[in-house]
Amino acid sequence: MSSAVERALDSFVQKLNELQPEAPTLPYNPDWPSDCYLNTGSAGESVKWKPALQSEPSDMFSRMEEALDERVHPDIIAYFSRFWSDPLPATCSDGDLSLIQVWNPDDMERLRSNLIGHALSKRQQKRPLTFFFACAEPDDNYFISVDNFSGEVLLELPGKPPVRRLADNLAEFLNSLEPRKIENME
């Protein structure tokens, strides 16, 4: 049974695929494998890709909870455990943003390190714990996060209290987004 976050993310990716039926391209990197690649090529050759459902469960969040000695909000776990993907561009009522995604298991480990660093910074500042999942564009100093206690979606600046609440929960926020076309990378 899927969660509301998984259903909202599935719906977003479906709308993105309808908006952009021709898969975007990026340079193939054999040293950075992913289920997202629709085909392979020589290193640096332009290949098509699209978000791919993660098929194997990861223990990344249980290890992160152990490291932090704190539970991680289930919406964050569902969000980062659903797809392998490059960042996904979207628009909300406040403007453009990029949904952070993970490309492969190594990228998931990189994300874990960044989320733990963010959590430790929050503790040092004596601020409530949040976990980021998107960056505002074009000003990527702002990030969008989930409050680990309430599940609310917040707009934040590093080292500052949240700027404002954007949604009651992550599924509501994801359902409010409109995808933007993914630019081909050369």
Q: What angle do CA 59, 11, 116 make, to 5 degrees?
A: 30
**Residues 6+ positions from 17 with CB-CB distance below 8 Å:** 50
Mean of pLDDT over the chain: 95
Domain covering 4-179 in this structure, CATH number: 3.40.1580.20
* Single pTM value for the model: 0.95
Domain parsing of the chain, residue ranges: 4-179
Q: What is the pLDDT of residues 150-185, one digit of tens each?
A: 999 999 998 888 999 999 999 999 999 999 999 999
Reported as a pLDDT band with limits 50, 70 and 90, residue 44 is very high
In the chain, what is the straight-line distance between the N-terminal and C-terminal CA atoms, in Å?
A: 39
**Residues 6+ positions from 122 with CB-CB distance below 8 Å:** 128, 129, 130
User: What pLDDT sits at residue 94?
Assistant: 87
